[in-house]
Amino acid sequence: MEQKEKRESLIRYLLNENERLKKYEIPENEDDQKKLLRALINVRMPIKADEAFLEIMDSYLQEENFMNMVNIDDPAVMKYREGLTGMAHINWLKARRGYSVIYA
């Protein structure tokens, strides 16, 4: 299943889960779909979800995270790093050494 299919499946599940949201349609635009999915997840009540939904969500998020990864040894990243100072430079060094760095 492609990312688009996973995203639309997740949105459809979340829309159908709430009677008030069933009337909404899934946007065609990828960015709008991502925004809608995020919004639906943020407002979802903490209720048990289907195992299939959780498997699709896990697969979708793993792929999204993988696509957003960068190689910190890439020349473009190294050039960016040269301009870092202070806390940004410390966080870059932590990431370089394998530590998790959370940007607020």
Q: What is the DSSP string of 40-76?
A: HHHH--S----HHHHHHHHHHHHHHHHHT---TTSHH
Does 1 have pLDDT greater than 70? yes
The per-residue pLDDT for 69 is: 59
63 and 80 housed in the same domain: no
**Can you give the residue range of the structural domain that contains 93?**
70-104
Q: Which residue has the tokens 């966080």?
A: 91
* pTM confidence score: 0.64
- Specify whether the CB–CB gap between 32 and 59 falls below 8 A: no
DSSP state of 18: S
Q: How many domains does the chain have?
A: 2
The per-residue pLDDT for 93 is: 62
61 and 25 housed in the same domain: yes
What is the chain's alpha carbon radius of gyration, rounded to the nearest angstrom?
18
76 and 54 housed in the same domain: no
Tokens of 87: 């806390």
- At 22-63, the pLDDT tens digits run 889 999 999 999 999 999 988 888 889 899 999 999 998 888
